[in-house]
Structure formats: structure tokens, C-alpha cells
């Protein structure tokens, strides 16, 4: 199953996103990109969710800087360019685009009106923030970088949230994980799953240096189980 690029209209203008739809009506999921844009791997995540019965939309969050960014982490020059986009990225406008994408999914005839988010790296932090600043019905965050800088917003979390944290992630050292756990553990609806020994990007199957099939299967299984309950 494959999708196509579509236009999404927000208050600041139109931007594109990759949309993958199942043949039947289902819940929606906004797939939130890494720092590499809407690349091959992000599209495969959308298609995976579509096969599982979800209407999946990955918005291009870098469109204000450059539309259609598509980079790959295993190319050193791409990685350098991606870091530059990351440094210039505005989190507030990004969250606005995610809310616009949530609303766009809800308006689709194929969507049952329930919408979650799933995000990776930069998108992992944005998925956490979506739990605090959007009306998403459930959120799944994979190896988000910088979540510890936004823990003051944790009181706004009202819907189910999962954090999938790589145990050997150099961007989330042990002291950072401890800080996140102290702030979020015990909060209703919040689950923190740590994957011992796994590296940042462990769910990215186009990147053999970081991919871990067993960890990915476990994390995606947990995400889909949460979505099944929260988005029905």
C-alpha cells in the first residue's frame, strides 16, 4: 500500500504532507518527521500504519525553510544539512502545523474523527509537546531529543502518551532519562518504555547502523495497542 502527497491548508499558508489511507474508515495518525524531512522511511511508517487500518499523514514541517526536504541520515552531507534545519526550526510553528494536520485528518471522510500522533527524534519531542499543546487523542514519542526542556508543560497532558526511549541514546544520557522519569512517572495515561542497549534511531529500518528489529517490533506493538484503545 502506498500513498501520495497532498496539500494541507493552515493559517500561515499551504504545505504538503504524505497521506496513506486504508481501504476502510479508520482513526487518523499524524506521523511527525525526524530532522531529515519526509523521506523514504517516513513514508514507509505511514504505509505501515495504513496497512494496520489508520489514515496516516506526515506533514512537511520544514516547509517555511524549504518545501520538500528529503534527507537521509547515513549520508554525512545530508546529516549536516539536517542539523542546520534543526537549528533553525521553530517549535511553536511546528506544533501549529501538527494541530492543522490533526484537524485536516479529522475532516477526511475516511477518518473516524479520532487522531493520534507518532513522532521520531525531533518528531518524538513534538509528539510529547502535542500531548501538552494539541487536541490529539493519543501520542507516541520515539527517542525525542530535548523533552527534558519542556517538562513544565507535563501538567497539560490529558490523553494517553507513550515515551519510547533508547537506553544507549547519546542524545538522552542517563541523567536526562532520570529527570524525565521523575517528572512523568505515575502520571495517569503516561507510559515510559526504555529499550536497554538500543541506539537513537532504532526504529529506522533504512539505517542499518541504528536499526533494531526486535526493539522496533516491541515499540510499534505498544504504540498500536495504545492507538487501538484510544482511537477506536
CA-CA distance, 46 to 22, in Å (whole number)? 10
Residue 185 is predicted with a pLDDT of 86
Of 136, 118, 148, residue with least CA distance to 216: 118
Catalytic positions are 169, 200
Task: Give the gyration radius of the chain's Cα atoms.
Answer: 16
Answer CATH for 4-230 from 3.90.320.10, 3.40.50.1820, 3.40.50.880, 2.30.130.10? 3.40.50.1820
Domain layout of the chain by residue ranges: 4-230
* Whole-model pTM over 0.95: yes
Residue 1 is predicted with a pLDDT of 58
Query: What is the mean pLDDT of each successive set of 10 residues along the chain, which is 232 residues long?
Result: 90 97 97 98 98 98 97 95 98 98 97 98 98 98 97 96 98 97 94 98 95 98 98 94
Does an H or E element contain 163, and which?
Answer: strand 161-166
Distances (CA, A) of 152 to 32, 51, 148, 176, 179: 22, 36, 9, 15, 12
Distances (CA, A) of 120 to 7, 30, 35, 170: 22, 12, 9, 15
Amino acid at each position: 500500500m502506498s500513498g501520495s502527497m497532498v496539500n494541507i491548508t493552515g493559517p500561515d499558508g499551504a504545505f504538503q504532507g504524505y497521506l496513506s489511507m486504508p481501504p476502510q474508515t479508520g482513526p487518523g495518525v499524524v506521523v511527525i518527521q525526524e530532522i531529515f524531512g519526509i523521506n523514504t522511511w517516513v513514508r514507509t511508517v505511514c504505509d505501515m500504519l495504513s496497512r494496520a487500518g489508520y489514515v496516516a499523514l506526515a506533514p512537511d514541517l520544514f516547509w517555511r525553510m524549504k518545501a520538500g526536504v528529503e534527507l537521509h541520515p547515513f549520508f554525512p552531507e545530508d546529516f549536516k544539512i539536517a542539523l542546520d534545519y534543526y537549528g533553525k526550526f521553530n517549535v511553536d510553528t511546528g506544533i501549529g502545523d501538527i494541530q492543522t494536520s490533526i484537524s485536516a485528518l479529522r475532516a477526511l471522510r475516511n477518518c473516524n474523527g479520532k487522531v493520534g500522533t507518532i513522532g521520531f527524534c525531533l518528531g518524538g519531542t513534538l509528539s510529547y509537546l502535542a500531548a501538552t499543546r494539541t487536541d490529539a487523542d493519543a501520542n507516541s514519542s520515539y527517542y525525542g531529543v530535548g523533552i527534558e526542556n519542556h517538562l513544565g508543560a507535563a501538567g497539560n497532558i490529558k490523553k494517553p502518551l507513550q515515551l519510547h526511549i533508547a537506553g544507549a541514546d547519546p542524545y538522552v544520557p542517563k541523567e536526562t532519562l532520570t529527570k524525565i522519569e521523575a517528572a512523568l512517572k505515575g502520571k495517569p495515561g503516561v507510559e515510559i518504555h526504555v529499550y536497554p542497549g538500543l541506539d537513537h534511531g532504532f526504529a529506522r529500518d533504512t539505517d542499518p547502523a541504528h536499526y533494531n528489529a526486535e526493539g522496533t517490533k516491541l515499540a510499534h506493538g505498544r504504540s498500536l495497542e495504545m492507538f487501538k484503545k484510544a482511537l477506536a
